[in-house]
Structure 1
Amino acid sequence: MISYSKLPQHKILCIDMKSFFASCAAVQLGLDPLTCYLVVVGDTDRDGSIVLASSPKMKSEFGIKTGNRLFEIPNDPRIKIVNAKMGTFLKTSTAIVKLFNQFVPKECIHVYSIDESFLKIDGTERLWGSTLETAEKIREAIKQQFNLPCAIGIGPNMLLSKLCLDLEAKNSEIAEWTYEDVKTKLWNVSPLSKMWGIGSKTEKTLNRMGIYSVGQLANYPLDRLEKKFGVMGNQLYYHAHGIDFSELGAPIIQGQISFGKGQILLRDYDDPKEVKHVILEMCEEVARRARSAKKCGRTISLGIGYSKNVSGGGFNRSRTIQDPTNVTMDIYRTCLELFDENFNNRTVRQISITLSNVCNDDEIQLSLFDEENQLKKRNLGYTMDAIRKKHGPNAILRAVSYTDGGTSRHRNNLVGGHNA
């Protein structure tokens, strides 16, 4: 039996800026974010450009939402189509966080994403009133200062505040869940992918175990979940009961750390040599991210997505190497092996690379016969990182970035993958 009386009883707000990119763009054009018909895309000059955000009216009346393509947007004179201005969106997001700091100290704010934050408001009753009153004051302050709409979920921990936001508050602006609401509001949730933290792969595995709702997950034997999923099984069980001991700012689901990079190419790549050029550029970025965290990895994964023009599909394969690494060319050699073994000469449109099974960089046991060479390669990587940090990402590039297939020079001038 779960004893909720002994669990943390914090007051956590999860604040989501509704259709943030689209709302910001609407305000810049002098439009009402909730009533206008507006779509934000990556590039208005490309018919295949992805929709990054759409206003609530576009979603409800035209069914256009994030992930659609530009050519799918109806030809309607009411619809405004604009390019993403990531620099402006980031400035607005930063300003909103500064507004949060007027209500709570900085250590009580956790920025989860550009449009979503957690606020811990314990002990602010004398300043701002009850939890609901505080939430309403924050919502109104955002509306007055930025003319942007938001939704706020409230809960005794980060998990329940997020679930409250996703499952109720987004339809009612502000909502609050307590532990008493778990059985009546959370256990009925189905399919499982609607539960924050459960992806499609985990959902399919749970379905094969006869688990289709959160209630069924909560009542499934804990030892069997742990046997199937390990530590994640323990988390799934307790999260289904609404239990979360995460401190503000900590990841709510503690998974294995990995470093990855993925991109949808700006055009179809028919030449395997060009694909390999992009793979090398991406290996450089994955290695840099690992080095920035002082980590190395042993498992390297390569994902290739084929163009829809050749019926789509693709492959995702992994290989575990003997010694952990954060050296670009080590990762690249393994990716080339995976590519040559699985590629079937079709047109490529999407590439992803991940380095996982990680350990600390200083825990690597260097080979007695290759110690000097390995140290030189590692130090070279850190030196290149330092040059780019000081002089910009394009200060030092590999030769493939200057070929027709290279993408780094262009992408390094973007913010979040889009125009600033």
Structure 2
Amino acid sequence: MPILLNRLISLTAQYGYTVALNIILAKISVNSVLFLWCAKIVGSLLSLPANRQLNRIQNKKTLLISLEIAKAGIFGVMPLLFRHWLLFGLVLLVEIISDVFDGNLTAFVPKVVERENLSRFDASITSVGSISYFVGPLLVGVLQGQPESLLFYIYGLVTFLGGLTLWLLPIVEFESNRRETGLSLLKLDFVQAIRAILSVKGLAAICLVYLLLDNMGTGLDSFEIIFVTKIIGLTAAQYAFSLSFLAVVFLIVSAALAFWRIGLRSQTVFQIGAVIYIGYAVVMLISRQFGILLVSYTLLAIGLTLMGNMVDNLIQINIDDENRSQVFILESMLTNILSAVTVFVLGILQNTGLGINLAYWGLVGLTVMVVSIIEIVNRQRT
């Protein structure tokens, strides 16, 4: 399947690019990392109006290929601007292109995959992503002794090849009845995407719960190296092994879902995944042994895979062509913005003297409380 092949190739470059860029900017200054987050936030905000403009290209195959080739070109130019402020402009473009591409590709899937197979196909994409998540950063480690520019040239070439695989896709055009209005593009697209979500019973609550739990996971991940080394007492080698273990578990879980059809409603499976994911956070915070940490990572892989696949499946099935890609991009935009705010707040709390352990418990407790309120209100309405 061309989509799976593209995800394997292109996500390897995407994950590797993210790791390599963070390493380079961390060597320059702390402010560089801060500007990186700012560029990501602005890029996420601009992805909705950008997608609206690009939706005029109704041939989605052409759009997807063009986006991949454009991103490959940006990767190739980045080494020339490593120590120039224009680098953050390129980061912003990569963020916009990635959000628009991911939203349109996920929206494209229901056009080429039968409805009853959507959940398993989404799990297959997750499996491929797990492999890329392992290989991409691995390349960064293997090539650390080489010039920094080499990695970006490699990732540019890999992304270009990933784009070429999409030539194997059929030509698909989306239906669109959009009309220009006097509203700003961002406001218009935001409102339309929200309305599309609200039009499906229970979908808004599920998306909001997923957004909050995913944000909790991002917050835990942002300072995880500090927590596992200082609080749990693991070595850097053990932490590195645990991340490899996590990638393998993600692969196993997603592969199982790709071959095994769950005989439950998507909403029910999502709720099971949410409970398991909360279990991951609690087990990680109480763990003081390496083995317990691995148990928490197992719960992380199971819970996040179930939730993510079910959310994608519900949107793919219930949202029309005109709004589907916008909804996926809105989800990505809100995730990036909320994650950035959470990471900044956690950092500030630590600078004020609050330990990482207490900060983590506060994040998990607040998230679980809000998620519980959403579930209670949603059940009362249904």
The structure with more strand, counted as a fraction of residues:
1
Structure having the higher Rg: 1
Q: Which has the higher contact order (CA 8 A, sep 6+)?
A: 2
The structure with more helix, counted as a fraction of residues:
2
Shorter chain as denominator, the TM-score bin is under 0.3
